[in-house]
Amino acid sequence: MSGIAEFLLGQVRARVLSVLFLHPGKALHVREIARLTGSSPGSLHRELRSLGDAGLLLRSEIGRQVHYQANEASPVFAELAGFLRKTLGVADVLREALSGLGDQVTLAFVYGSVAAGTETAGSDVDVMLLGSAGYADAVRAFAPAQQVLGRDVNPTPMSIDEFAKRLKEKQGFAVQVAMSPRIWLKGEENDFAELVAHRKAQGSRLKAQGARRNGA
């Protein structure tokens, strides 16, 4: 996923924007941005000035230090922040942690405030894990990610059948998760749509596919 942002924006610009847009309201000194993005302050000055001219960043001078922060008043702020959140932010770190659980997880996504972009400083990252992973294993797998993110990760592992059943019974939690925005870590929206569709209908569709395959 990080590949998409770096492919479209270039590595340096993608990193600069993610550092500033994923922490809006926080003004950073140029040298600090350089440190966080792993680039040299010299080349960064020009990049930051251009982004400022484009209206994406706000420049301020505190004493002799130049600070930059994301311009939340920019008409594309929400879209750009959302794009970066999905490609470079939390998702990357979580995906790496998730790989430790391997095949035990079929579908995984972030839901709740972090996925909706309404998180506060103390918000947990809520992660839904559909498959066979157990709770304790999931907690341990995400423990290193908590340190990187500076946020607690709150995993909820459940089998696909169990989730589908709770959804069918219109249980509060499952419905809420199904309705809320998602950031995909493993699998994609189509897989989920299939799951959410009536299991009966799903069964008949799979049967129909099987029949077609047999006929061909």
Partner 1 sequence: MKNLLAAIERNLRDAAVTEISDETRFDAAYKAVMQCALAAMLSSGYRPSTSEPGHHATLIQSLPLTLGLPDQAWIVLDALRRRRNANDYTGDIVTPDMVEECRAQGRQLQDALLRHLKKNHRALLAG
Q: Interface residues with partner 1 (CB under 8 A)?
A: 124, 126, 134-136, 139-140, 143, 152, 154-158, 162, 172-173
Minimal distance in Å, beta carbon 134 to partner 1?
6
Question: How far apart are CB 143 and partner 1 at their closest, in Å?
Answer: 5
Q: Are 196 and 203 in contact (CB under 8 A)?
A: no
Residue 106 CB partners (closer than 8 Å, separation 6+)? 130, 131, 160, 186, 187
Q: How far is the CB of 73 from partner 1 (least distance, A)?
A: 32
Reported as type and span, the H/E element at residue 111 is strand 105-111
CB of 111 to partner 1, least distance (A): 11
Least separation, in Å, of the C-beta of 171 and partner 1? Answer: 8
**Nearer CB in complex with partner 1: 10/134:** 134
| Strands, sheet with 28-29, edge to edge from the N-terminal-most edge strand | 28-29, 65-70, 57-62
How far apart are CB 123 and partner 1 at their closest, in Å?
A: 11
Closest CA to 100 of 130, 126, 139, 153: 139
Identify which of residues 88 and 158 has a Cβ nearer to partner 1 in the complex: 158
- Cβ distance to partner 1 smaller for residue 83 or 192: 192
The two three-digit tokens of residue 178, written as one number:
């199904």
Question: Given the complex with partner 1, which of 49 and 166 has the nearer CB atom?
Answer: 166
Nearer to partner 1, 134 or 210 (CB): 134
The count of other CB atoms within 10 Å of the CB of residue 53 is 10
Burial of residue 63 (number of CB atoms within 10 Å: 0-12, 13-18, 19+) = exposed
Nearer to partner 1, 48 or 110 (CB): 110
Distance CA 59, CA 175 (A): 43
Q: Rounded to whole angstroms, how far apart are CA atoms 115 and 126?
A: 8
